[in-house]
Structure 1
Amino acid sequence: MRRRSVASSLLATSLLVLTAPALAQPASAPTIGAQPDRAQPPAAKPPQADPTGTFAAPSSTGVSQELSGLRPLNIDDPDLKSVPPATRVLSNWRDAVTLVEARSPDLVIAIQEIARAEGLARQALAQALPAINASGTINQSLIPGTSFVPGVGLVEQRLTQLNTGISISQPLLAPRVWYGVGTAKLQTEIARMTAEDQRRVTFATVATGVVNVVTAERVSEINRVGLRGSLELLELTRRRADLGTGTKLDVVRAEQDVAAARSQIVSADESLRKTREALGLALGFKDAYGVEPNLSLNDVESSLRTLCSPGDIGSRPDVRAARAQLDLTARSVTDAKLAFAPTATLSSNTTVSHVVQSEFTNTQWSIQALLTIPLWDGGARYGMLKSARAQVEQQKERLGVVERAAAVELTQASRGIEVAEQSRRVATAARDLAAETTRLTRVAFEAGTATSFELVQTQQQLRQRELELALQEFEVVRAKISSLLASANCQH
């Protein structure tokens, strides 16, 4: 029994030396979360992290020299290579704001809608102002006419007649037209509120897209770390089977773990590509947009606070636009009633006609006042009035929906910060437990009561918990951005 125990100890010590490279996180992996200005979880005490971000393996002083002739682990797999960078890269948040202002399709459409509303308002005002028109005609006869000239007789002539005129028209009584001017101005204000809300939504979309890209890159990194650990465990399992201490079933299980890790990499990489493409679309590009590793998410949050001022639900632009839309539909009822009102127009016409062949010139000037009293139009005005009243009731319901949705969104966004903080605390506790488990497993391994495979697995779990904690840090930033923009005013 003592001889078997010594042999087992020697085998376990040999496996420890073999697993030393496996316990190190690959230095070639992108260190997105290693920047100093991003929120980072505190490093776990066991194992200690070196300046390159890799985790140091447990010490095996005196044993590694004796077994240095054993073949070390050399994991080389094409799936361990990171996803190629995007064709376009976002270096800082200021560049994102510039691109949003210049190229965001939704924001550009909303801004042009303001210009369109201003044009319609000018058209409404023009109907209440004087209209001045000038006209001129030339009539040339093609078949000569015959006229009698005293002392000459019959003379054939081709007459050329010149006619000019100026007309002026001024509405004297046009209550519906005058009321329409105020309605057009209100439509312009609604367009401005809609553009302001679209700016808020666009900023939220782009900021969330940036966080999603960073998170997807981190998830891709996590999966490659997991694949490396699975490949290392498979290699150790095969070596153990070659030494006669393992079974074929252990190898098959390790191969299944590698297959599952590869599947996660495929889905995570596709998710990363989609998040880059979504960010590119939000910025107005058809190409995928990546994020520089040194872009600070904390700077994104602080920059948004300078661009958007927080407020309450009532001051949110979409809520204000919905209330203004209710006022607009209420004005349509009054507009329908004004269709029953009479109208009066004053017009003046001046015409001058001249025949070139004769010296005859005719000048006329007329003034006309027209009073129109609508009597019966088949019931069209009554139908318009009924339709306007129905639209008012519809808009009241829409306003209620917008207010309730905004209130729930603000509540969820505020609660999201607390949930993200709680999740981060849970992730921190899980990371600390994984670190303590790794330390105890190391002690048990040195005492001969734990295997090297247990040590590898606990180290992999520690790396996983570390990266999950970093992801929760990103979730906290995302929650803060969502809470800020849930009730913010982002004026241009």
Structure 2
Amino acid sequence: MSSRLALFLMSLTAVPALAQEPTAAPPPFQAQVNDPMLAPAPSAARQVASWQEALRLVRERSTDLRTAEANVERAQGRWRQSLSLLLPNARLSMGVTEDLLHPNLAVGLTGAPIIPQAGQPIPTVPLLSGTASLTQSLVDVGAWRGLSSASAATDSARANLSDIQRRLTLGLARTLVATVAAERSAEINRVGLLRALERAALTQRAFELGSGTQLDVVRARQDVEVARQALIAGDEQLRRTREALGLAVGLPEQVGVEPAFQLQGLVDETRQACAPLDGPEARADVESARKNLTATRDSRQQATAGYLPTLGLSSNLSGYTTSDPAPAQLATWSLAAVLTLPLWEGGARGGLVRERTGLERQAAESLENTRRNVQVEVARAQRNVGVAESLVKTSAESRELAAKTDQLTRRAYEVGRGSSLELVQSGAALRQAELSLVLREFELVQARLDAFLTEARCDW
């Protein structure tokens, strides 16, 4: 009888327990935060909307481009000077001669022709004279080598101009990508500060309800200050990238990008503006160094040809008009072949040959150094694309895990199963993961641009 009573009493106590419904979890806490630093970063006074607009500013205002164009003009001027030594040279001179101190002296002193009168030589004064001279180089090996050197130097300057255009295109693309990345990072920093403020409000509420401690509040506030520091540093980096973009387009001010600016359009338009090359040897800077070596070699041969004789043709036509003691008109015409034999100039020619030999050796080493750098640059740029793709993939996975961890940690803290240390650490990890993902995505865009532009020719 006692056993049945015990079972009955147990059934009575179990029924309410079985009938009791599970307690629903409290809804997530929604903090209301308002902070002046959450306002978007101020826009730049001037913004570019497209790649074509930015490239137009570079064409109009780039000092590097103007300098390279001036170098081409200088090289063309030197080529014309070298060519003038092989073309005919004509001169015309006129003058009036009269000896004011000794008007009656003989012609040998005055340079005027004589008119004999009564068996005496009488100088014809005043004398109006005119002389036309024409010279033409027939054989001058040094002049020909000088012309060849000037022509190679002109080609080198043109190739250098093409390389400057490529480098300006690459620099502009990098600066635009960096500016867009800085804009995006500034936005993420504000989101990170907002989340840190929400966590601080959550810990403050938990402390007020008695489920948290003062240590939890202090930790959360410390995390807020860390987020503020990241936001301040990010805004300064944004201003610096805008200044760099302004300098890239030739403006001494901050230049931003409009929100509608698309990086994918930047990649497509860059591929349309520049043409791919067959290999690193065809790049403009290698071609410029190669032409510079040819120019220095021809210049050294020009100096060596200074030991050789030169042959030229000279013709002079002179006319005189006199009035005293009698009007007269006299004319002379001469034609001469001039052979010049260099004998001794004090060693200046040998010193010039040694100097230009040294310049040739420097140009050869510069060409080899340029080739090595280009090969490494091209290989590195191609490798960076694969590295950037892998980093984007891992960063995306890391960001997803950080977001899930932060969500679970916050929920656990709300229901009293987590600590404030875990809450702060998960929030900091999420901020870092989001920034890392953004930077990796922009690095991938930059890597693809670098891989293309390191083996491209950009002629504006």
Class of the TM-score when normalised by the shorter of the 2 chains = 0.7 to 0.9
Q: CA–CA distance in 1 between the matches of 2:299 and 2:207?
A: 84
Q: Could you say which residue in structure 2 is the equivalent of 1:17?
A: 29
Match of 1:74 among 21, 33, 37: 33
Amino acid at match of 2:84: A
Given the superposition, is the C-alpha separation of residues 408 and 198 from structure 1 closer, same or farther in structure 2, using an over 3 Å criterion?
A: same
Is 1:403 equivalent to 2:371 in the alignment? yes
Match of 2:143 among 165, 173, 177: 177
Q: CA–CA distance in 1 between the matches of 2:369 and 2:442?
A: 32
SS at match of 1:249: helix
Residues 353-385 of structure 1: CA deviation (Å, up to 9, x unaligned): 212454122222222322111111222222222
Residues 233-290 of structure 1: CA deviation (Å, up to 9, x unaligned): 2333333333333333333323322222222222211111111111111111112211
Amino acid at match of 2:381: A
Is 1:385 equivalent to 2:353 in the alignment? yes
Match of 1:112 among 70, 93, 96: 70
Is 1:350 equivalent to 2:363 in the alignment? no
Q: CA deviation at 1:304?
A: 1.3
1:321-470 counterparts in 2 under 5 A? 321-357=288-324, 358-437=326-405, 440=408, 449=417, 465-466=433-434, 468-470=436-438
Please report the TM-score for the alignment, with normalisation by the length of structure 2. Answer: 0.83
Answer yes or no: is the 8 Å Cα contact 1:162–1:356 preserved in 2: no
Q: CA–CA distance in 2 between the matches of 1:400 and 1:226?
A: 50
Q: CA–CA distance in 2 between the matches of 1:283 and 1:426?
A: 35
SS at match of 1:17: coil
CA RMSD of aligned residues (A): 2.9
Q: Could you say which residue in structure 1 is the equivalent of 2:180?
A: 214
Residues 20-48 of structure 1: CA deviation (Å, up to 9, x unaligned): xxxxxxxxxxxxxxxxxxxxxxxxxxxxx
Please report the TM-score for the alignment, with normalisation by the length of structure 1. Answer: 0.78
Which shifted more, 210-219 or 320-329? 320-329
Amino acid at match of 2:402: A
Q: CA–CA distance in 1 between the matches of 2:41 and 2:203?
A: 29
Q: Which runs of 5+ in 1 are unaligned?
A: 1-8, 20-72, 148-157
Q: CA–CA distance in 1 between the matches of 2:81 and 2:132?
A: 22
Residues 87-125 of structure 1: CA deviation (Å, up to 9, x unaligned): 221100111222222222111211222122112111111
Q: How many residues align?
A: 419
Q: Which runs of 5+ in 2 are unaligned?
A: 1-22, 106-123
Answer yes or no: is the 8 Å Cα contact 2:149–2:294 preserved in 1: no
Q: CA–CA distance in 1 between the matches of 2:364 and 2:57?
A: 37
Answer yes or no: is the 8 Å Cα contact 2:146–2:299 preserved in 1: no
Is 1:251 equivalent to 2:217 in the alignment? yes
1:46-85 counterparts in 2 under 5 A? 73-77=32-36, 79-85=37-43
Is 1:281 equivalent to 2:281 in the alignment? no
| Larger-gyration structure (1/2) | 2
Amino acid at match of 1:354: T
Q: Could you say which residue in structure 2 is the equivalent of 1:128?
A: 86
Q: CA–CA distance in 1 between the matches of 2:388 and 2:244?
A: 24
SS at match of 1:213: helix
Answer yes or no: is the 8 Å Cα contact 2:150–2:295 preserved in 1: no
SS at match of 1:381: helix
Q: CA deviation at 1:146?
A: 7.8
Which shifted more, 111-120 or 360-369? 360-369
Given the superposition, is the C-alpha separation of residues 145 and 342 from structure 1 closer, same or farther in structure 2, using an over 3 Å criterion?
A: closer
Amino acid at match of 1:371: L
Which shifted more, 258-267 or 190-199? 258-267
SS at match of 2:250: coil
Residues 378-415 of structure 1: CA deviation (Å, up to 9, x unaligned): 22222222233333332222222111111111111111
Q: CA–CA distance in 1 between the matches of 2:156 and 2:420?
A: 69
Q: CA–CA distance in 1 between the matches of 2:371 and 2:455?
A: 11
Is 1:102 equivalent to 2:60 in the alignment? yes
Q: CA deviation at 1:145?
A: 5.9
Amino acid at match of 1:75: N
SS at match of 1:285: coil
Amino acid at match of 2:69: I
Q: CA deviation at 1:143?
A: 7.6
Q: Percent same amino acid among aligned pairs?
A: 39
Which shifted more, 357-366 or 340-349? 357-366
Q: CA–CA distance in 1 between the matches of 2:100 and 2:301?
A: 56
